[in-house]
Amino acid sequence: MVHSQPGLERLHVLDERGGRKYVYPADVRGRYTRVRPWLFLLLIAFYIALPWISVGGHPAVFLDIAARRFFLFGRTFNAQDFYLVFFLLTGVGFSLIVLASLLGRAWCGWACPQTVFVEGIYRRIERLVEGPAAHRQALAHGPLTLEKLGRKALKHALYLVITFVLAHLFLAYFVSADKLLRMLADGPRAHFGTFLWGLGLTIVLYWNFFWFREQLCLIVCPYGRLQSVMQDPDTINIGYDHRRGEPRGKLKATGVGDCVDCRRCVAVCPTGIDIRNGLQMECVGCAACIDACDEIMGKVKRPPGLIRYESERVLNGEPRHFLRPRMYLYTALGAIGLLASIILWARHLPFEANVLHGRGTAYVLDGDLVRNQVIVHLLNKNAGPSVLSIEPVPPGSGAPPLEFIIPQARVSLGSLEGLAVPVLIALPRTAYHPGMKAQLRVQDSASQSVRLLEVPLSGPNLRSAAARP
């Protein structure tokens, strides 16, 4: 197979004019390559299944952007709960930073959906239809023959069908699995807008998984671009032991290191780089070069591990430093974010109850009484229907008597349904003083959670009026 010499001057996946250079990574066998397909299978099942698994009567993940409501693992959120996402993203973001600081691009090489789908589905189809890397490359650069036409047509037909299915499965995250099935049964005409989304998504995913591939990791992904600031010489990455391997030379040559310069590590690399040039931003941490080199080492009867998971410091012959200041900092920030999101998540009530003041004047004088009217806005955020009840909290001993009129003390609401309930509170005019508050207790029957509402009361300030000359 023809490979140009990868250097450090420019991206190997680009030619001199900046055009796309398609990579044909060779097949490899080894301990990491054996595990990856199974892990990818599990992750693909996980990524696809999330909108189809039901938790508490709703999909485990359903991001109903149109209605600004979100179902996550049995909890229901609306736009007002968006602050929770901030803490969650902070926690997850810093956890990924800790991972990058510890293990380099472990996420990219092993769990990122881009890697998982390209390697777990699309590259496998490519191998199945067009054969090993050398054959694929020869086919791509060879003349248009019947065989080439047939294989290319079959590959792209499979790509398109699978991408079409994946795009629809992905749509289920945004329209819910049930609705997606109904839409499919109704046909594209009945849901033309969603159909166009599905079609657009199919085209984008097809282009990405067939053509763009590793360029997403190299050019677009911010996590990939930020690796160099998250890592340091103590980060465990995939590295070449240059002290052991250099000077590289043919097997029988004298005075050379363990690297026999077979270039298998380059041939199997999905981003086409030569890891012997040192860690490069194109390395997505797939571990294919480890397996490739170990296989060669086995054949030439030398110990494995010439390319291995190791820190740059250790590869340079210095002692390992595992715990270092940036680890403390990243871990602390990640823990704060995760802890905050766990606490907020746990305290998140499955309903909302807010006090709003009624229209018009703040209070009404009715004989000896002062009447306040407020609106209690209720919103059921349970996955299913629930009954929300409002009841007054009796004032403490010595406090002025309050009379509550709540015409709808119990309201039945469907999931994410809301209602504005008027509440009248009356008290003797002489008992009123500024800063007075009444309390209401709102209970949700579905979760048995309770929230106390404070209602600031308004009235005439008789004391200051009496003090006036």
Residues near ligand SF4 (CB under 6 A) are 238, 240, 245, 259-265, 268-271, 273, 275-276, 283-289, 292-293, 296, 306-307
Q: Name the amino acid, one letter, at 223.
A: Y
- Helix, strand, coil percent values for the chain (each to nearest 5): 45, 20, 35
**Token representation of residue 46:** 């996980």
Q: Nearest 10 degrees: CA dihedral of 141, 146, 152, 158?
A: -170
Output the smallest distance, CB 84 to ligand SF4, in A: 36
d(CA 119, CA 36): 9
Q: Nearest 10 degrees: CA dihedral of 440, 445, 450, 453?
A: -30
Interstrand relation of 410-413 and 386-393 (parallel, antiparallel or unpaired)? antiparallel
Note the residue count of the chain: 469
Output the smallest distance, CB 288 to ligand SF4, in A: 4
Residue 199 or 219 having the CB closest to ligand SF4: 219
Residue 231 or 271 having the CB closest to ligand SF4: 271
Nearest-CA neighbor of 361 among 350, 348, 349, 370?
A: 370
Residue 31 or 324 having the CB closest to ligand SF4: 31
Residues whose CB falls within 8 Å of the CB of residue 295, separated by 6 or more in sequence, listed in order: 28, 29, 30, 264
Residue 58 or 263 having the CB closest to ligand SF4: 263
Output the smallest distance, CB 271 to ligand SF4, in A: 5
Which residue is associated with the tokens 């190791």?
310
Strand partners, 61: 72
Residue 283 or 440 having the CB closest to ligand SF4: 283
Output the smallest distance, CB 289 to ligand SF4, in A: 3
Residue 72 or 265 having the CB closest to ligand SF4: 265
Cβ-based neighbour number of residue 360 at 10 Å: 8
Output the smallest distance, CB 143 to ligand SF4, in A: 31
Residue 290 or 425 having the CB closest to ligand SF4: 290
Output the smallest distance, CB 163 to ligand SF4, in A: 24
Residue 177 or 289 having the CB closest to ligand SF4: 289
d(CA 269, CA 290): 10
Output the smallest distance, CB 103 to ligand SF4, in A: 12
Output the smallest distance, CB 86 to ligand SF4, in A: 33
Residue 129 or 238 having the CB closest to ligand SF4: 238
Residues whose CB falls within 8 Å of the CB of residue 466, separated by 6 or more in sequence, listed in order: none
Output the smallest distance, CB 98 to ligand SF4, in A: 21
209 DSSP 8-state letter: I
* SS3 category, 437: strand
Output the smallest distance, CB 283 to ligand SF4, in A: 3
Residues whose CB falls within 8 Å of the CB of residue 86, separated by 6 or more in sequence, listed in order: none
Output the smallest distance, CB 120 to ligand SF4, in A: 15
Residue 270 or 350 having the CB closest to ligand SF4: 270
Strand partners, 374: 357, 423
Residues whose CB falls within 8 Å of the CB of residue 368, separated by 6 or more in sequence, listed in order: 428, 429, 430
Residue 234 or 294 having the CB closest to ligand SF4: 294
CA neighbours within 13 Å on the CB side: how many for 150?
3
Cβ-based neighbour number of residue 81 at 10 Å: 18
Residues whose CB falls within 8 Å of the CB of residue 450, separated by 6 or more in sequence, listed in order: 441, 442, 443, 444
